[in-house]
Amino acid sequence: MEGAGSMSLIIALDFPNRTEVERFLSHFAGEKLYVKVGMELFYSEGPGIVSYLKEQGHQVFVDLKLHDIPNTVKSAMRSLARLGADMVNVHAAGGTKMMRAAWEGLAEGTPAGQERPLCIAVTQLTSTSETVMQQELWIDKPLQETVLHYAQLAKESGLDGVVCSALEAEAVRNACGNGFHTVTPGIRQAADSTDDQIRVVTPEDARKLGSSYIVVGRSITGAEHPLQAYKTIQEQWEGITL
């Protein structure tokens, strides 16, 4: 399955403020990165953090996982579209009406001459196990089937891809096609702590399973030498053998 479509490593900037982000990025002088701004950073710094990262030449995934009634999501996406992000997301569990509204809001809000951000849908969080999904959330289906079903709903709604575990990437591609992106967090090297993640995959296996993007946070942000950790993971992800 290796090598289908685009491949990028996205670094999750899970930091409390811009000062910490600047401190972290100082290890990467001259590198143009693909970074992710999640709830912690966005809620503390506001939209300005996205403009700042774009000005530095980075690509930005704004990971706010919108999930609300269609009208609210549409309006929120109209606002997000103006930030110049490269990727935004919603929860597929909001349903097709909500996902279509998200897409429409983005299309309406994207300024002329600017590219519409990719819009992807979260299927089942990589911190969710099959047991929790069935026994706690009362979703009475196998996890992989649920992810596939949500991916198909996202595709029907016009979205560009999904967030899932790399464990499901191959099945999603088979069902939704090569052009449909699979953005896969829960990435860990074999010796790493899994922390709160359940469906974890190594960078190398994510490539073999056909992920389009891997999302890596603590294995890089918490490393003693972040640039070295980034390069090692990048090499494993791209299949470069030295």
Ligand X SMILES: O=c1ccn([C@@H]2O[C@H](COP(=O)(O)O)[C@@H](O)[C@H]2O)c(=O)[nH]1
| 122 is a contact residue toward ligand X (CB under 6 A) | yes
8-state DSSP, 201? B
Identify residues 148-207 at the interface with ligand X (CB under 6 A).
163, 185-186, 195, 197
Q: Say whether 141 is catalytic.
A: no
Q: Which listed residue (126, 146, 211, 236) binds ligand X by CB under 6 A?
A: 126
70, 97 Cβ separation under 8 angstroms: yes
**143 belongs to the binding site for ligand X (CB under 6 A):** no
Strand partners, 36: 12, 61
Q: With 0-12 CB in 10 A as exposed, 13-18 as middle and 19+ as buried, what is 223?
A: middle
Instruction: Determine if residue 69 is labeled as part of a ligand binding site.
Output: yes
Q: For residue 186, how far is the Cα from the chain centroid? A: 10
Contact of 226 with 5, CB cutoff 8 Å: no
Q: Total binding residues for ligand X by CB under 6 A? A: 16
* Stretch of 76-84, 169-177, 212-220, 230-238 contacting ligand X, by CB under 6 A: 212-220
Distance in Å, CB of 200 to ligand X, minimum:
8
Q: Closer CB to ligand X, residue 40 or residue 68?
A: 40
71 annotated as a binding-site residue:
yes
Q: Which of 32, 54, 68, 208 is catalytic?
A: 68
- Tell me if 218 is assigned to a ligand binding site: yes
The verdict on 18 binding ligand X (CB under 6 A) reads no
What CA–CA distance (Å, rounded) separates 205 from 199? 12
Of 130, 218, 227, 234, the one binding ligand X by CB under 6 A: 218
Among 50, 215, 229, 233, binds ligand X (CB under 6 A): 215
- Is the CB of residue 146 less than 8 Å from the CB of residue 172? no
User: For residue 141, how many C-alpha atoms fall within 13 Å in the half-sphere facing its CB?
Assistant: 10
Convert 102-114 to b/e letters by CB count within 10 Å (16 or more is b).
bbbbbeebbeeee
- Check if the beta carbon of residue 236 is closer than 8 Å to that of residue 189: yes
Residues forming the annotated binding site for substrate?
14, 36, 63-72, 126, 188, 197, 217-218
Interacting residues toward ligand X by CB under 6 A: 12, 14, 38, 122, 125-126, 163, 185-186, 195, 197, 215-219
| Catalytically active residues, by annotation | 63, 65, 68
**Residues placed in the known binding site:** 14, 36, 63-72, 126, 188, 197, 217-218
